[in-house]
């Protein structure tokens, strides 16, 4: 199964290297996860490893974004951090709920579909809707202390 919507493209570039690199890795982990959905050996351990890769990439990407926003003294920093925390928690909660129950290949595929829905509708949407604000922030000079 191809997941072309999770491939990096120029429309996702913010112009901030650390942010873009983190997001590229996160999208790569998402694409890898969903491309393996038709794998006949798909099961609980495989899904746990692949969702772990998504979570680790998400955590690193969000940390890079937070560091950049703190450095820029960005408005709405606390709201942004709360969004990251909520997205991460929703992803982890869903994985913890679904993955331990997997006993068959069909259940593993169903789990993938449910995780896909969350990733597509929440996490990927979060990434795409922020591009313009990051581009604007990247063009804004950094305020010097003192």
Q: Which of 64, 74, 59 is nearest to 123 (CA)?
A: 59
Which residue segments constitute the domains of the chain, with CATH numbers given? 16-139 (1.20.120)
| 140 CB-contact burial (10 Å; exposed 0-12 / middle 13-18 / buried 19+) | exposed
Q: Which two tokens stand for residue 78?
A: 């606390």
Q: What is the pLDDT of residues 39-98, one digit of tens each?
A: 888 999 999 999 999 999 999 999 999 999 999 888 889 999 999 999 999 999 999 999
Q: Which of 3, 23, 46 is nearest to 134 (CA)?
A: 23
Q: What is the pLDDT of residues 92-127, one digit of tens each?
A: 999 999 999 999 999 999 999 999 999 989 999 999
> Is 90 strand, coil or helix?
helix
Q: Say if CB 119 and CB 54 are below 8 A apart.
A: yes
- Does residue 130 register a pLDDT over 60? yes
**How far is the C-alpha of 88 from the C-alpha of 57, rounded, in Å?**
11
Q: Which two tokens stand for residue 19?
A: 């942010």
């Amino acid at each position: 199964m191809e997941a072309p919507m999770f491939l990096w493209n120029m429309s996702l570039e913010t112009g901030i290297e650390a942010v873009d690199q983190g997001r590229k890795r996160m999208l790569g982990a998402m694409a890898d996860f969903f491309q393996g959905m038709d794998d006949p050996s798909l099961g609980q351990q495989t899904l746990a490893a692949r969702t772990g890769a998504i979570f680790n990439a998400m955590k690193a990407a969000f940390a890079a974004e937070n560091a950049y926003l703190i450095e820029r003294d960005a408005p709405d920093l606390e709201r942004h951090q709360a969004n990251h925390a909520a997205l991460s928690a929703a992803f982890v909660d869903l994985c913890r709920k679904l993955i331990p129950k997997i006993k068959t290949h069909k259940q593993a595929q169903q789990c993938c579909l449910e995780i896909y829905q969350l990733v597509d509708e929440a996490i990927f949407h979060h990434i795409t809707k922020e591009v313009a604000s990051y581009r604007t922030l990247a063009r804004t000079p950094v305020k010097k202390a003192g």
